[in-house]
Structure 1
Amino acid sequence: MTFTPPLRQPCPPGACDCDRERLLAAADSDLRILRLTRQEEKVLVERLERIDSLADLERLQEKMYAQLGIRLEITPSLKEVKTMRGIQIRVEDLPGLCRKTRLAIPKAIRRALEQRPEIAFELLNARDLLRDA
């Protein structure tokens, strides 16, 4: 008997652009993202809100890619960063990734950066934006 992990339930018709059905129909598609159920998504968002360092955030980025195939890009603006809005957080488009999840991940990271600004400073310093400060 083989264990198959539960797959995410389909979104209501017209509510999402995740192409879940097309992903399931393709024979050679990567189904890792469909293992992110709504309950697992809540756990992921809560974990992202609790990051405590830049290293922790980078470790989560690696895990998200390895386990789900989600590529997350976090970069400071090339211009001046005055608020957390100056840090760009982008989730790469991925077939099967729900629109709501694509929006929830950056929001959770922003909340974590607002609660712990030292992580944002570490991020800026890692990109050498605070060299003159």
Structure 2
Amino acid sequence: MTNQPPLRHPCPPGACDCGREQLLDGPAEGRRILLLTREEEKRLVERLENLKDLDDLHHLQGRLYQNLGIRVHIAPGYNEVRTMRGIVIELEALPGLCRKTRQAIPAAIRRGLERNPQVAYRLLDAHDLLGGA
């Protein structure tokens, strides 16, 4: 008798294009994204909103990929970066990743950058946009 970890509940029909059903029929390796339940998603969003520094952000990016297979790319936009909206936050396409989660993770990171602008400045400096100023 094995204990299965709780899986994310299905989205209402027609409300999401996550492909949860195909993952349930496939191999167990692809199902790790389904371990992100709504409660765990709330904890993740709270953690992303309370970023401490740039290293913390990179650590969270690594943990998201390691535990759930979610790749998050964060970089300055192509034009000027005047607000946090100028920072591009993208999630790679991943089967099983709910539409709401695909929107919630970048929004939480953006809120975390707004709460702690030093992280955003370090991010911009890491991409050499401040030119060592």
Q: TM-score, normalised by structure 2?
A: 0.95
1:35 counterpart letter in structure 2: L
1:20 corresponding residue in structure 2: 20
3-state SS of 1:108 partner: helix
Instruction: Measure, in 2, the Cα distance between the counterparts of 1:27 and 1:75.
Output: 33
Contact 1:23–1:29 (CA under 8 A) maintained in structure 2: no
Which structure 1 residue ranges, 4+ long, deviate > 3 Å from structure 2? none
Instruction: Measure, in 1, the Cα distance between the counterparts of 2:132 and 2:118.
Output: 17
Q: TM-score, normalised by structure 1?
A: 0.95
Larger deviation, residues 78-87 vs 39-48:
78-87
Correspondences of 1:3-82 after superposition (within 5 Å)? 3-27=3-27, 30-82=30-82
Instruction: Measure, in 1, the Cα distance between the counterparts of 2:52 and 2:29.
Output: 35
1:103 corresponding residue in structure 2: 103
Instruction: Measure, in 1, the Cα distance between the counterparts of 2:8 and 2:65.
Output: 18
2:105 counterpart letter in structure 1: I
2:100 counterpart letter in structure 1: K
3-state SS of 1:31 partner: helix
Contact 1:33–1:97 (CA under 8 A) maintained in structure 2: yes
1:68-119 deviations in whole A, cap 9, x for unaligned? 0000000101331111111000111110000000000001011111111110
1:26 counterpart letter in structure 2: G
Instruction: Measure, in 1, the Cα distance between the counterparts of 2:69 and 2:41.
Output: 14
1:74 counterpart letter in structure 2: I
Which structure 1 residue ranges, 5 or more long, are not aligned? none
3-state SS of 1:63 partner: helix
1:22-68 deviations in whole A, cap 9, x for unaligned? 11112365111000000000000000001110100000000000000
Which structure 2 residue ranges, 5 or more long, are not aligned? none
Give the % identical residues.
62
Larger deviation, residues 73-82 vs 37-46:
73-82
2:128 counterpart letter in structure 1: D
Correspondences of 1:84-95 after superposition (within 5 Å)? 84-95=84-95
Aligned length: 133
3-state SS of 2:30 partner: coil
3-state SS of 1:73 partner: strand
